[in-house]
Amino acid sequence: MINDNLKNKKLKDYFYLQKLVLRMTGVSLGENDTDAYKLYSMFCVFLAITYTGVEAYGLVVHINNIDMFANVISLSASHILGVVKVFVLLKNKTSFAKLLNTFEAGIFAPNHQRGGILEDELVEKCISYTTKQSIVYWSAVSMVLFFGILDSVLSKIKSNDYNDWSMPLAPFSLFEVTTNAQFILVCFYQSTCLFIFASIISSIDLLMGSVIAHMKTQFTILKNTIKSIRSDVDDEDFSEKVTARHLQKTSAGLLQKKLKYVVTYHQSIIDLTEQFEDAFNFLLLTLFIGNFLVLCFTMYHASLYPLSNTKAFMDFTYVGAICVQLLLTCYWSNELTLESESVAYACYEVNFVGASPAFQKNLALMIQRSQRPVVLTAGKFVNLSLDAYVSILRMSYSYYMVLRRKNEYK
């Protein structure tokens, strides 16, 4: 009894870590926030939006300088995407919070009568995996911020000439920084804004990736339920004394009832994926387009410096963080598609010999439905998969080479 209580507590709130970081940076999925937190949230969002405006102004200032322009646009494109993510998330705040809670209740919650302790183990494994990927992603993002701030501090230590000073990650173009006080103030402002942006963007990415991972886990639980459907009925304890014919009818009825439950469960998972698709397919499209620009411009900017230079290393860590960001969504979407397809194989493995014709017919219909896999898309244009991920990397590298050769011919 104690072990069950501990396990239930451990499995409570699958997305606690990601939601906590979002809340710390002013984005809450709760409905009953205090007035003080609402003011704090408005302040964080205000900083994010104003800093995006500062970066947009920097694009105008450096439009004739391809090197500076590449540096600014690689960050501003990512931050504009971040603002879009926040607005899409807040717009769908109620429905998304409901979707997150759905995994922990009703038909989606671990059920020992349905799949035994294996369901707890599968959910625990998914939570453990998403927690580890969160740590890896946040570590990559932290490295980008660390090297950006380090480069800025080193530029100040090495020279007293303000022309040699640099700000974290991108130049500050709103006004010229000429004094120590201005340097400290602008460096602190830019570092704070970058930290807020990095935390929000990475946490939303991780939250979306975790949701897809848990949808994939639901298909795994469904497969386990399907495979054990016949054995569960055969192991049923009929205490009353019944004739063989009555027993056969009772078993057939139970088998049909369990199959009906499986069909309902299957359709519920499909409905859940469709809700996610409808809410975030446009956001995923902007993510693909934006990160395509970010990757090619960041790689171009990195190529302007030797590998030993701090700026080059900083750019490559940024490229790594963006690649992880894209990989999260594409990998889990690919796994979701494969797992939904494999439901048909699980149905085929059921021992249907000797079952009623109605059961066999319904099982065949379920196999037919499973042959149309669940697919998440980016704006209904591109299927999210590992193939799409590789295509984005190839396109980014090709465009980067175009920019580099164009610059070499000047």
Closest CA to 79 of 52, 58, 44, 61: 52
Cβ-Cβ contacts under 8 Å for 21 (sequence gap 6 or more): 138, 199, 202, 203
Q: How many CA atoms lie within 13 A of 356 on its CB side?
A: 14
Token pair, residue 129, equals: 């995996």
Whose CA is closest to 265, among 229, 232, 225, 212?
225
With CA atoms as reference, report the closest residue to 282 among 103, 26, 87: 87
Phi and psi angles of residue 146, each rounded to the nearest 5 degrees, phi first: -60, -50
For tokens 């009925």, name the residue.
Answer: 233
d(CA 177, CA 158): 16
CB 258 within 8 A of CB 228: no
Written as six digits, the tokens of 315 are 């750019």
Local confidence pLDDT in tens for the 410 residues of the chain: 334 443 444 456 899 999 999 999 988 888 778 899 999 999 998 888 889 889 889 888 888 887 788 888 888 888 888 888 888 888 888 888 888 889 988 899 898 888 888 889 999 999 999 999 999 899 888 888 988 898 899 899 998 888 888 888 888 888 889 999 999 999 999 999 999 988 998 999 999 999 999 999 999 999 998 888 766 555 554 444 444 444 345 566 777 888 888 889 999 999 999 999 988 888 888 888 888 888 888 888 888 877 777 778 888 888 888 888 899 999 999 999 999 999 988 888 887 776 778 778 888 888 888 888 899 998 888 899 999 999 988 888 887 787 777 666 65
Buried b (16+ CB within 10 A) or exposed e, 338-369: ebbbbbbebbeebebeebbeebeebbeebbeb
Burial status of residue 117 (CB atoms within 10 A of its CB: 0-12, 13-18, 19 or more): exposed
Residue keyed to tokens 């990927």 = 133
Place of tokens 């100040």: 156
Query: What totals of helices (H) and strands (E) does the chain contain, helices first?
Result: 14, 2
Distances (CA, A) of 244 to 116, 240, 250: 29, 12, 10
Give the whole-angstrom CA distance, residue 28 versus residue 42. Answer: 11
Structure tokens at 385: 């998969």
- Give the chain's end-to-end CA distance (angstroms, integer): 75
Q: 3-class SS at 325?
A: helix
> Helix or strand or coil: residue 377?
strand
Determine if the pTM surpasses 0.75: yes
Segments forming the whole domain that contains residue 176:
2-408
Give the chain's domain count.
1
